């Protein structure tokens, strides 16, 4: 569906060249919800502008549905852009137009007759949950409602790809979850490919199938969201995962837990998928003569399954604790001794 090959974008800043995107290779499947995460300056906003042809790469190619976006221009490029829509952080609505007039705007530009335009607008109003608000102006809407208008407008021309540029970062947590649920519903109903950029791991965890982590213009880590949560490799990815797992293995965290639980071993367990629903601790206690105390835990749900971490305090002899850890490993539970007695 989307293929980026060795894509680089360099800007001349007057003080030298700035490489915003540096040799990125990406392949995104049709119907996938794909996340791109990174902090400010990572290059993710530039990358998404390359996907819809608003920017041309300095080198490399961007291909969408067998059409090389980097090789076309003029009328052909404008037609291609109609199949790649975008929603924005700050909504970008026309404040002098009502909800239905905002949604109709791209259809007007495309020359769609008024009767077909009106029917399509009402379909979209219902799809995004704004029935009864179609005659309201943006100033009369909440932030979440404004973003729903933005989503409906982006869907007006039946795009094949929906790009989301920090689409929820201006919203409160509850509204963010509602908008993310809407995007998942649209993805399932329409089979739409969604590419979103964000600096919030909660967004990635909740709706994405795969994620690319960007730093310094490069993709430094790429994979299935559940796999990335289970075993993040890069330091920046570990920081992002810690945003939602709340079990960051920093020296400070371990020191704090050691002060609270000064005896025994502190052991972190990682559960993935169906493991989160298994009575592993019950079996551990029944089969091993160790004292088990739950210190800290968290379960996060992703589109591909659940991911959980649990920190235990294990008390017993060295042999008993070693046998307990061996039992957990035999149950395919990833274990890590964070601190010894």
DSSP annotation string for 17-33: EEEEEEEEEEEE-TT-E
φ/ψ (deg, to 5) at 331: -85, 10
Phi-psi region of 16 (alpha: psi -120 to 50; beta: other; left: phi over 0): left
Q: Please state the separation of Cα 35 from the chain's center in Å.
A: 4
Output the pLDDT for position 250: 59
Output the pLDDT for position 216: 95
- CA–CA separation, 37 and 169 (whole Å): 13
φ/ψ (deg, to 5) at 195: -120, 120
Of residues 77 and 4, more confidently modeled: 4
pLDDT at 280 over 90: no
- CA–CA separation, 182 and 159 (whole Å): 16
Output the pLDDT for position 210: 96
Beta strand ranges found along the chain (DSSP E) = 2-12, 17-28, 33-37, 59-64, 67-68, 84-88, 161-165, 193-198, 210-215, 218-224, 265-272, 291-302, 305-315, 334-339
- Strand, helix or coil for residue 13: coil
- CA–CA separation, 250 and 311 (whole Å): 14
What is the percent of the chain with per-residue pLDDT over 70, rounded to a whole number?
98
What is the percent of the chain with per-residue pLDDT over 90, rounded to a whole number?
61
Nearest CA among 122, 127, 197 for reference residue 162: 197
Strands 193-198 and 161-165, by their bridges, are: parallel
Dihedral over Cα of 332, 37, 34, 182: its sign: positive
The 10s digit of each residue's pLDDT in 130-169 is 999 999 999 999 999 999 999 999 999 999 999 999 989 8
pLDDT at 40 over 80: yes
pLDDT at 247 over 90: no
Output the pLDDT for position 2: 93
Output the pLDDT for position 218: 96
Among the listed ranges 212-216, 270-274, 295-299, 315-319, which one has the minimum average pLDDT value?
A: 270-274
As annotated, the residues of the chain forming the CATH 3.40.50.300 domain(s) are 2-244
Angstrom CA distances, 271 to 41, 231, 280, stand at 33, 11, 10
Beta bridge partners of 91: none
Residues 56-68: b if buried by 16+ CB within 10 A, e if exposed? ebeebebbbeeee
Structure tokens at 213: 């982590």
pLDDT at 245 over 70: no
Among the listed ranges 19-28, 82-91, 210-219, 315-324, which one has the minimum average pLDDT value?
A: 82-91
- To which residue do tokens 């329409």 refer? 190
pLDDT at 214 over 90: yes
Output the pLDDT for position 27: 95
Alpha helices in 132-172 (DSSP H): 143-155
pLDDT band at 70 (very low <50, low <70, confident <90, very high): confident
pLDDT band at 197 (very low <50, low <70, confident <90, very high): very high
- Fold of domain 2-244: Rossmann fold (3.40.50)
Burial (0-12, 13-18, 19+ Cβ within 10 Å), 292: middle
Q: Please give the average per-residue pLDDT across 303-322, as a whole number.
A: 87
As annotated, the residues of the chain forming the CATH 3.30.70.260 domain(s) are 249-339
pLDDT band at 254 (very low <50, low <70, confident <90, very high): confident
Dihedral over Cα of 312, 318, 324, 326: its sign: positive
Give the number of other Cβ atoms within 10 Å of residue 274's Cβ: 9
- Fold of domain 249-339: Alpha-Beta Plaits (3.30.70)
Q: What does the mean pLDDT of the chain come to? A: 90
């Amino acid at each position: 569906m989307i293929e980026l090959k060795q894509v680089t974008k360099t800007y001349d800043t007057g003080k030298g060249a700035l490489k915003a995107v540096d040799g990125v290779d990406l392949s995104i499947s049709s119907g996938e919800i794909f996340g791109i995460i990174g902090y400010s300056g990572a290059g993710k906003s530039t990358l998404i502008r390359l996907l819809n042809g608003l920017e041309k790469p300095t080198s490399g190619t961007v291909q969408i549905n067998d059409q090389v976006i980097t090789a076309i221009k003029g009328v052909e490029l404008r037609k291609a852009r109609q199949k790649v829509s975008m929603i924005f952080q700050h909504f970008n609505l026309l404040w002098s137009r009502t909800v239905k007039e905002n949604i109709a705007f791209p259809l007007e530009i495309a020359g769609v007759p008024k009767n077909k335009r009106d029917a399509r607008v009402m379909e979209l109003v219902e799809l995004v949950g704004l029935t009864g608000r179609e005659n309201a102006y943006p100033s009369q809407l909440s932030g979440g409602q404004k973003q729903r208008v933005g989503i409906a407008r982006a869907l007006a021309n039946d795009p094949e790809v929906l790009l989301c540029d920090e689409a929820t970062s201006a919203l409160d947590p509850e509204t963010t979850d509602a908008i993310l649920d809407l995007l998942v519903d649209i993805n399932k109903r329409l089979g739409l490919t969604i590419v979103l950029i964000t600096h919030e791991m909660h967004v990635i965890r909740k709706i994405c199938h795969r994620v690319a982590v960007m730093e310094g213009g490069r993709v430094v880590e790429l994979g299935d969201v559940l796999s990335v949560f289970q075993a993040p490799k890069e330091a920046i990815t570990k920081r992002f995962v810690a945003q939602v797992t709340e079990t960051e293995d920093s020296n400070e965290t371990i020191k704090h837990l050691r002060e609270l639980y000064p005896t025994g071993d502190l052991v972190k367990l990682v559960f993935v998928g169906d493991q989160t629903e298994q009575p592993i601790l019950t079996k551990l206690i029944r089969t091993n003569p160790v004292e088990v105390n739950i210190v800290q835990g968290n379960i996060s749900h992703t589109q591909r399954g659940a991911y959980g971490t649990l920190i235990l305090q294990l008390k017993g002899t060295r042999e008993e604790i070693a046998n307990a850890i061996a039992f957990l490993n035999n149950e395919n539970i990833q274990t890590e001794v964070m601190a010894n007695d």
